[in-house]
Every structure is written in C-alpha cells, then in structure tokens.
A and B are shown apart, each in its own frame.
Chain A
C-alpha cells in the first residue's frame, strides 16, 4: 500500500538559494507547499478580480458569490466584534480565503499546504501577533487586564490569572493544531481507504467485491473532507474574531 504520509512530503519545484538570517538558514526554494499557496492565492485573486471587475447594483453570478463570501465574514465580524469589526474585516477575510483556498487546493488538485505545521503555525502566530499588537495599540498596558477578569473574588484571583495566561498562551497552539490535525487526519484517512480499494481490487474477483465498501467510504469521506475544508477555514475566522473581540472590547464585558 502507498505510504499515506508520503503526500505530506515537501518537494522542491524551483531551486532557489538559501539565505541565512540571524543564523537561521532560510531555503527560499519554491516547494510544492509554496506552489500550493501560490495556486490558492492566485485563484482567489483571479476570482475576485473577475467578480469585482464590473460591480453592478444588480450583480452577476460571480459578484453574487463574492458578495456571499464577503457578507458571511462581514456579518461574522460585526456580530462578534461589533461596529469596530469593520476595521479588522480585511484581515479576517484574508485569513478565511487563504485557508479555504489552501484546503480546497488540497482537496481538488494539488498539495495541501494547510497540512504543513509550519503553515498553520505561521498563520496562528500571525493571528495572535495581530491580537497582541491591536491589544497594546488600543489599551496600552491595559492589555494586561485581559488576564484579570472583573467580578472575581480577590482570593481566587491568583489562580484565575494563571489560568488566563496559560489559556492565552495555548491559543496559537490550539489554533495551529486544530487546522493541522484536521487536514492531516482527513487526508491520511482518505489515502488509507483509497489504498484499501487498490489493494483489495488487486486480489481478484472476491477482492473487487470487497473493495466496494472502502470505495463507498472514500466517496463519503471526500464529501466530509470538503465540509471540513470549509468548516476549518470558518472556525479559524470565528476564533480570530473572538480573540480580536477580547482586546478590542476590553473592559466592556
């Protein structure tokens, strides 16, 4: 059976020189992961270029789709963050489209960049970094009030503060591992079941009959994985909104 982990192997497409920054070697080669990001982002850019080329009061098909995606995230940001959600909309929308496009590239055509821990971790750090920067920019040192919830008896406060700090530090980890785990797990399971189909069908007539079950499973799993691809992008966007709301409306709750 094919190695189900082989699909996650980074391979170089275009060799580029390695640059060393602060003692860390950075291999700038375009790998399959980078190419997948380029394909996904390129598709998003092309889609929105066409969709917004001729914006009209009465929208065309593409414009309806673009406005649907726009409205989805805009409503999300506004319902969670409030009126200020509008300022953060581009970032949340970019995150959502980036992750969704990478997931879908992995589902349909090419490499799944979101199954790379480096990618999901970078996205999580980017998100939490934005939250921290926004938090300090808006509240100054008041940002630390995030770890001191109001209305808590003083004697329980030390414990609560420790828990809050730990939970804040866990956020980038859970953010990155959730997306990473979902994409890796889904693709491994699909690959394993697809491997069963091939292996069983190779055994002859009886095997072909036996292969029907894993084949149906693969079909069902593929549908499920498309759902997961969308859902994980949406969950990432929702959590980004929630984390941004914590620092934007600090002290309002």
Chain B
C-alpha cells in the first residue's frame, strides 16, 4: 500500500475528493453508512487511484509514467536480446543442425550397410547355386559311371553264363542223341524178340526197320 501512497503523495491532485468514491469496491459499503472521516488510509489510496483513473480516462495515458517504462523496457529487452542472440539461438540452432546431420549420416550408414548386406546375400546365393550345380553334376557323373560299370560287369557275367549254358545245352543234346540211338536199338531188339516169340521165326532186319519207322 505504501507504493500507492507514494503515487498519492506525488500527484498534484492529492485531495481525497468525493468526486468518484462510489465506484470502488472498497467504498461500496462505507459510503452509504460511515461518515466521511471513516475513509481510512488504505481505503483512501485505492479510492484515489480509481478516482484518478476516472478523472483522466485510461491510466495508460498518464504520460508521467512513460519515460521510466520505456527506459526499463529497452534495458530488459536488450538483456533478453543479448541472451538469445549470443547463447540460446546459436545453441539451439547448433543442436538442431547437429541432429539433422547425425540423422542423415546414420541414414547414409544404414543404407551403405544394407547395400553391403544385399550384395553379400546375392554373392552367397550365387555361391550356393554354384555349389548346387556342382553337386548335381558330380552326382550325375557318379551315377552314369556306376551305371556304365555295372552294365559292363553285367555283360561279362552274361557272356560267361551264356557260354556255360551253351556248353551244357550241347552236352545235353549229345546225351539225348546217344540215348535216342540206344532207344532205336532197344526197340529193334525188342521188336525182333517179340516177333520171334509170336511167330517163331526171326524177322528180317529191313522189315523191322520199316515197321519201326512207321510207328
């Protein structure tokens, strides 16, 4: 309140006038009831400030306060300007640009690594494919080789067996022919004996032969 009192003391129209007391909160009640003396000092100052404002319109047009405000404004504004221009703005711009470059650097790194990985993946895929092809070729080679070998062995074996079979068949044929020859002799003998016994006289060899060939 002392500040308000100072204003009061300074201003020339310091009369605690009755011109505009009705408008302030502080005097709403007392004006109606209390005597004029009851305007205690605190009330008076508030009342006065309000009254002054009313008397002169907006308090902003009290030009006696202008010069001080402007001087202080320039001082305070300059302090803020220097702080921002010398400290805060460069610091913030620095960190923002650092972040930008860091991000782009990281992105470039990541891109390079990705490209490398892709190249490696491609290379390894090629290697795998080559290995696959080699393995397939090796397998097929082995298969054909094995097939050829087994076919050769088979043929040799077949030839050997065929020879054995041939031999066996010739010997069988020979034995059969021999046996067949014996059969004719036996038949002739048996027939001559039968004829002799039945007829009592021996049959001629030519007749027997003719009969046998007829049978």
Q: Collect the chain B residues with CB atoms within 8 Å of residue A158's CB.
A: none
User: Does B87 contact A184, Cβ atoms closer than 8 Å?
Assistant: no
* Distance between B62 CB and nearest chain A CB, rounded to angstroms: 7
Q: Please give me the residue from chain A that is nearest to B1 by CB atom.
A: A11
Q: Which residues from 62 to 114 on chain B have a C-beta closer than 8 Å to any C-beta of chain A? A: 62, 64-74, 76-77, 79-81, 83-85, 87-89, 91-96, 98-99, 102
How many interface contacts (CB-CB < 8 Å) are there between A and B?
160
Binds A, one of B52-60, B136-144, B152-160, B177-185: B52-60
* Distance between B57 CB and nearest chain A CB, rounded to angstroms: 8
The CA-CA distance from A41 to B68 in the complex, in Å, is 17
* Distance between A105 CB and nearest chain B CB, rounded to angstroms: 12
The CA-CA distance from A2 to B53 in the complex, in Å, is 12
Binds A, one of B2-10, B34-42, B195-203, B207-215: B2-10
| B64, B71, B92 pick with most chain A CB within 10 angstroms | B92
Binds B, one of A49-57, A208-216, A228-236: A49-57
Which of A34, A44, A67 is within 8 Å of B69, CB to CB?
A34
User: Does A3 contact B50, Cβ atoms closer than 8 Å?
Assistant: yes
Answer yes or no: B24 CB below 8 A from chain A CBs.
yes
Answer yes or no: B23 CB below 8 A from chain A CBs.
yes
Q: Collect the chain A residues with CB atoms within 8 Å of residue B80's CB.
A: 41, 44-45, 94, 97-98
Answer yes or no: A133 CB below 8 A from chain B CBs.
no
Q: Collect the chain B residues with CB atoms within 8 Å of residue A180's CB.
A: 60
Q: Collect the chain B residues with CB atoms within 8 Å of residue A70's CB.
A: 89, 92-93, 96
User: Does A31 contact B69, Cβ atoms closer than 8 Å?
Assistant: yes
Q: Please give me the residue from chain B that is nearest to A12 by CB atom.
A: B3
Interface size class of A (residues with CB under 8 A): 35 or more
Q: Please give me the residue from chain A that is nearest to B69 by CB atom.
A: A118
| B46, B52, B72, B94 pick with most chain A CB within 10 angstroms | B72
Q: Collect the chain B residues with CB atoms within 8 Å of residue A63's CB.
A: 95
* Distance between B211 CB and nearest chain A CB, rounded to angstroms: 130
Q: Please encode chain A, from 20 to 31, with 1 for each CB lying within 8 Å of some chain B CB and 0 for all others.
A: 000011111111
User: Does A6 contact B50, Cβ atoms closer than 8 Å?
Assistant: yes
The CA-CA distance from A93 to B93 in the complex, in Å, is 13
User: Does A184 contact B60, Cβ atoms closer than 8 Å?
Assistant: yes
Q: Collect the chain A residues with CB atoms within 8 Å of residue B85's CB.
A: 90-91, 94
Which of B70, B91, B102 is within 8 Å of A55, CB to CB?
B91
User: Does B3 contact A98, Cβ atoms closer than 8 Å?
Assistant: no
Q: Please give me the residue from chain A that is nearest to B90 by CB atom.
A: A90
The CA-CA distance from A74 to B90 in the complex, in Å, is 12
User: Does B84 contact A27, Cβ atoms closer than 8 Å?
Assistant: no
Q: Collect the chain B residues with CB atoms within 8 Å of residue A148's CB.
A: none
User: Does B77 contact A98, Cβ atoms closer than 8 Å?
Assistant: yes
Chosen A-B contacts, 10 in total, with CB atoms closer than 8 Å, are A2-B25, A5-B59, A6-B59, A12-B7, A26-B71, A34-B68, A34-B72, A67-B95, A118-B73, A180-B60
For the complex of A and B, 4 pairs with smallest distance between CB atoms: A90-B85, A55-B95, A118-B66, A26-B67
